Structure 1
Amino acid sequence: MGRLKGTRLGAFRAYFFGFFVCTAGFLFGYDTGIVGGILEFDSYRNDFRYTDKTTVNAVMVSLQNVGAFIAALAIFPVSDRLGRKKTVQIAMSVFCCGVILQVVPSHSLVCFYIGRVISGFGLGAGTAVVPTYNAEMAPKEIRGMLGSGVQWLFALGVMISYWIDYAVQRTLPGQSKQWQIPVGLQLVPATVLALGLFTQPESVRWLAKKDRFDEAWASLTWMRADDGPEVRAEFAEIRAGINEEIRASEGLTKRELLEPANRYRLLLGVFLFCGQQCTGMTALAYFGPQFFKLLVGNDSSRSLLITGLFGAEKFIMVGIYILFFSEKWGRKPTLWISAILMSICFIIVAVVNNTTPKPQSEVTSSGIATVAMIFLTNSIYQFSWGPVPWPYTTEIFPTRIREIGSSVSVSTQWLFNFLFSLVTPYMQASWGSYTFLFYAALDIIMAILVWFFVKETKGRSLEEMETIFHSKAAFDVETVRHEGVPVSSSVEGIDVQHKKSHDLSE
């Protein structure tokens, strides 16, 4: 794990907050996971009375991704105006409304689709704001770990959804509850996140950006559970960074995006989330049962069981990465090396599957070998492209444009999520296991682009990113940390205990 300075209470609060807000990632993963299983249920097909399975598969997933893309791209003005905490709470409320529309027994695909779009609005907004909120509150020593928590909770959501699908498939055959229970359970984590945030502080950097320095100082000292020299130095760095951004941009926020350093960062954010989808692993998460049928034969129960094991492996592997390697391995080598390894694994899967007899109802040695290779590919992904883009695309942007930078980056994830979820069922139907070769080629391209364009950010503060990307707002961070600046115009001389009791829930 990253070595964290400060008090034990501060460490607890940092870890708790970082992983708690990543509940939005859990929702993303859970929804991703339940889709493939529900589409295999006769009860769902009977209730909604459709025959074109391929089209419904594609539309059911892609509609929510469209809603999420729109919300992620448009949420930054709301986040800038209302703050990170209130925006996430609103997003979770919208998500719950969409889930209710999906779970009611309407027997109408149109109603279900509308619910998917509305829940997509909430999910897209939440996943766009949470990484920013997390990065702005995390100590730099563990920012990568906490930021990667989105992927860990995503993997937990996928795993739980797979096993819930498997359980209702075995215990509630033919009943409407078979698909309603997996869909309706999404209300629980969304409600917990929305209500739980009432106990957590607003973003320190958002408050500082709004010139609410007393509240920002109270938020920081509560989160760190300390008000000593280290915390004062951190606050001085935050204030100096924001002041330097204002000076360099002359207050013209929209023009800041056109600065070369910021254009570069924006393109990096777009590329990394595009690359996350181009690995092929999200397509496997959505349509795992359908993919595994290609490898082990036409047995829904068996493919759902393998998909459940696939989800468990996903959760375990990303957890190992986050806890033990996220603050030891550099972001850049992790990305390009893993892309090459995943490409090799996908090529092996395609070759083996197309040079051996296709499995029917029986399990073959080639089917076992290809499933094992996909599990290995999944492990590589969970150590790299799964978790890394989440912290990277929030830590590289300066405070003044972090909302829009994060929104554009995460919206790219949803855009390509939509694209691949829409075309994957048709690729499976027409290409079969040759689909893996397509993703192998994309992995090679991504490795090359990472090698040439991605910059290393591990262990650096958010304010130091200005120097890494040669921004006009770059300043001598170490000098500021050592010399310090006043914590705020009014905090000096005021009893710190009074500040700690400041109303953090505003």
Structure 2
Amino acid sequence: MSRRSAFVNWRVYILAIVAYSGVFVFGFDTSLAGGVIALPGFENDFLGGQPASAQVLSLVVSVLQAGAFVGALSAAPISEFLGRRNSLVVASLIFVCGAAVQTAATNDIVWIYCGRAVSGVGVGAMTMLAPTYVAESAPANVRGRITGIFQVIVVLGVAISYWITYGVNLNIPVSSAQWRIPIAFQFVPVGIMLIFLPFCKESPRWLARKGRVEQSLLNLAWLRNTALTSTKLQDEFASILASVKHEREGRGNFRECFEKGNRIRFVIAFILFALQQFSGQNSVSYYAPEVFSSIGMPSTTSALLASGVYGIVKLLSTLAFLFIGIEQLGRRRSLVYGVAWMGIMFFIIGALLRTHPPGAQQEVSNWSIGMAVALYIYVLPYSFSIGPIPWVYCSEIFGNSIRHYGVAWAAATQWLFNFIITKITPTLEQRLSGGTLFFMFGSINLLTAVFCFFLPETKGVSLEEMDVIFGYVSREQRQRDVLRVATNLQHGALSGPDGGRHLFESRPGSASTYEGHRLDTLYEDPEVGGKEGEGEGAVAL
């Protein structure tokens, strides 16, 4: 990534960080429960001083996923009505209500269940809204990197949840404060998003679909940090409007989901996220203290420390991939190589558990350390494949008219199987002992590599071109529509009372026919003079 490219796109990077601040609680909340429930303070307040049973553990962890499933599906129609940015605000407020209930809970664990369910609705909505918002705002050449920040923020949440739990267990006396501090920390990232989100621009693609063509172009120019007269900007905008034209000729948004070229995208999203959840990563992540205990780290402190190191390794490897590899390797190759490596590592861990099972000793053995290191190595390929790529891939493969449905479907699928895997993991750990559980996950990962080999590559492809790749519209028709819109942008008014429909006419109409601005009269910084080029002639908004 060149310094100039990073500088030009700095506004999109800031938008992504703000929009994804709320998604921090996705990683934080889902990983937090497994550690918090093992704290002596939580056990004293809610479990009568006894360790949590497998049923209580799975319920505390998975009830959030159930709420998130509802939130992800509900977010699609809300975002279509309110827009991406305003819908994120609503989702954040829902989450805050659930977090407040959890923090204020006393003695009765039902309040923890209820609070996590409500928070889950907000988290699920944010996992649908944030990737959609960012993908619709990011330029094609760095969209994978910018959209992939989603996974960095999620992994950061996972890592911090481990270390906060480890810290309070080590330094806070056994009391309610032990578990209230980690839970109350959830307010910080969501608060940051609520403060800065009003300063971000709405998705230009959503605005174009709503007929607010002029504002759409202004927002696009602001995000690209370039002049309205930039040829590159006008080409991108013409492509967006051409996609809107095809949508308006369709038979309705929801029915479009079942048309040729769209059905396959929903199938891919479903399978990809189902395989992600059964890759074994979430079982390790959510129940990390229990997993590390099962491979020979019996004390709570040792298991929590190993979990914290695991989170750090995951964070650093994800950061390295997004800023070095995702735009170089592409989506398909990263997935194939990554999940194959993951499968091999799980077979190694399973073999070590089979041949050198942990004993009853209190000290950590060398073989247990070796298995922990193998888990750390396993998380490296996860961080450049099935971890971040499904969120990037599914936020970009859907057309503008169905993206809110597509990403909602993808997020709901993730939460559905997330719920299932977290419910069954404690039982699987008990029944599939001696490395069998790791053999199962390893086999699934090798099958996933075969599936990913046949996925279309989307690196560097514009969102509008996805319709061509998946056969929803022919390349010739899309090129004709883009040319028509581009011509009319130069000869006709930019916006009018018809919501921009005049831009799709075969012949450009007279500029005086429509109300609104022409492209060459939109306000720009007079000192810059509207020079063409990246980073020049910035729109004065």
TM-score between the two structures when normalised by the length of structure 2: 0.88
Letter in 2 for 1:42: P
Offset at residue 292 of structure 1 (A): 0.3
Query: Which string of whole-angstrom CA distances, capped at 9 and with x for unpartnered residues, describes residues 210-258 of structure 1?
Result: 00011111111111121222112211111112112322x2x42222111
Contact 1:136 1:203 in 2 (8 A): yes
Does 1:417 find its partner at 2:443? no
Match of 1:46 among 41, 44, 47: 44
Q: Which moved more, 1:336-345 or 1:394-403?
A: 336-345
The aligned runs of 1:328-343 (5 Å cut-off) are: 328-343=328-343
**Equivalent residue pairs, number:** 497
- How far did residue 53 of structure 1 move? 1.9
Uncovered stretches (5+) of structure 2, i.e. residues with no partner: 496-515, 526-537
* Matches for 1:127-142 after TM superposition, within 5 Å: 127-142=127-142
Q: Which residue of 2 aligns with 1:266?
A: 266
Q: Could you say which residue in structure 2 is the equivalent of 1:147?
A: 147
Report SS of the residue matched to 1:59: helix
Equivalent residue number for residue 245 of structure 2: 243
Greater mean alpha carbon deviation, residues 311-320 or residues 427-436: 427-436
Q: What does 1:303-342 align with in structure 2 at a 5 Å threshold?
A: 303-342=303-342
Q: What is the identity, as a one-letter code, of the residue corresponding to 2:381? A: I
CA deviation after TM superposition for structure 1 residue 276, in Å: 1.5
Indicate the larger mover: 268-277 or 305-314: 268-277
1:430 aligned partner, one-letter code = R
- Residue equivalent to 1:457: 458
Aligned with 1:166: secondary structure?
A: helix
Deviation at 1:427, TM superposition (A): 1.2
1:20-70 deviation line (CA, Å, top 9, x unaligned): 212233111111222221121111011013555211110001111000001
Within-5 A mapping of 1:257-296: 257-296=257-296
| Amino acid aligned to 1:463 | E
Question: 1:2, 1:142 within 8 Å by CA — same for their partners in 2?
Answer: no
CA contact (8 A) 1:2 1:141 kept: no
Q: Name the residue aligned to 1:496.
A: 523
Give, in angstroms, the shift of residue 394 of structure 1: 1.3
Q: Deviations over 1:137-179 (max 9, x none)?
A: 0010110011111111111111111111111000113111111
State how far apart, in whole Å, the 2-side matches of 1:485 and 1:118 are. 50
Aligned to 2:118: 118
Percent identical among aligned pairs is 32
Q: What is the rounded CA distance, in whole Å, between the counterparts of 2:272 and 2:321 in structure 1? A: 18
Matched letter for residue 424 of structure 2: V
Q: Please say if residues 73 and 407 of structure 1, whose CA atoms lie closer than 8 Å, have aligned partners that are also in contact.
A: yes
Moved over 6 A (4+): 478-483
Amino acid at match of 1:445: L
Aligned to 1:223: 223
Contact 1:26 1:154 in 2 (8 A): yes
Kindly indicate whether the alpha-carbon contact (under 8 Å) linking 2:30 and 2:64 is maintained by their aligned counterparts in 1: no
CA positional deviation for 1:501: 4.8
Higher mean Cα deviation, 490-499 or 138-147? Answer: 490-499
Question: Match of 2:358, SS?
Answer: coil
State whether residues 84 and 129 of structure 2, in contact with CA within 8 Å, keep that contact through their aligned partners in structure 1: yes
Q: Does residue 497 of structure 2 align to residue 470 of structure 1?
A: no
Q: Secondary structure, in 3 states, of the residue corresponding to 1:472?
A: coil
Q: Which amino acid aligns with 2:363?
A: E
Task: Note if contact 2:336-2:450 (Cα within 8 Å) is conserved in structure 1.
Answer: yes
Judge conservation of contact 2:21–2:193 (CA < 8 Å) in 1: yes
Contact residue 240 and residue 464 of structure 2 kept, 8 A: yes
Partner Cα separation in structure 1 for residue 23 and residue 252 of structure 2: 33
Kindly provide the amino acid, as one letter, of the partner of residue 238 in structure 1. I
Task: State the 1:429 CA deviation.
Answer: 2.2
Contact 2:242 2:482 in 1 (8 A): no
CA distance in 1, matches of 2:122, 2:38: 26
Q: Which residue of 2 aligns with 1:185?
A: 185
1: CA distance, partners of 2:219 / 2:123: 26
Q: Which amino acid aligns with 1:429?
A: Q
Instruction: Tell me which residue corresponds to 1:30.
Output: 28
Distance between the aligned counterparts of 2:2 and 2:269, measured in 1?
24
Give the secondary-structure state (helix, strand or coil) at the position aligned to 1:161.
Answer: helix
Residues 327-368 of structure 1: CA deviation (Å, up to 9, x unaligned): 001211211222221111101101111111414311212111
User: How far did residue 416 of structure 1 move?
Assistant: 0.7
3-state DSSP of counterpart to 1:201 = coil
- The residue number in structure 2 matching 1:392 is 393
| CA distance in 2 between partners of 1:73 and 1:474 (Å) | 32
Partner-residue secondary structure (3-state), 2:66? helix
The 8 Å contact of residues 11 and 224 in structure 2, kept in 1 or not, is answered as: yes
CA–CA distance in 2 between the matches of 1:414 and 1:393? 14
Deviation of the 1:479 alpha carbon: 6.8
Counterpart mapping for 1:429-440 below 5 A = 429-432=430-433, 433-440=435-442
* C-alpha spacing 1:390/1:4, structure 2 compared with 1 (3 Å): farther
Alpha-carbon RMSD across the aligned residues, in angstroms, is 1.9
Counterparts in 2 of 1:480 and 1:225: CA distance versus 1, 3 Å: farther
CA distance in 2, matches of 1:474, 1:268: 22
**Residue identity opposite 2:15 in structure 1:** F
- Compare 265-274 and 15-24 and name the one that shifted more: 15-24
Letter in 1 for 2:521: I
The alpha-carbon deviation at position 273 of structure 1 amounts to 1.3
Please say if residues 2 and 327 of structure 1, whose CA atoms lie closer than 8 Å, have aligned partners that are also in contact. Answer: no
Partner SS for 2:326:
coil
Write the deviation string for residues 422-455 of structure 1: whole angstroms up to 9, x where unpaired: 1111111222342111211211221222223x11
SS in 2 for 1:119: helix
Shift of 1:324: 0.5
Matched with 1:85 is: 85
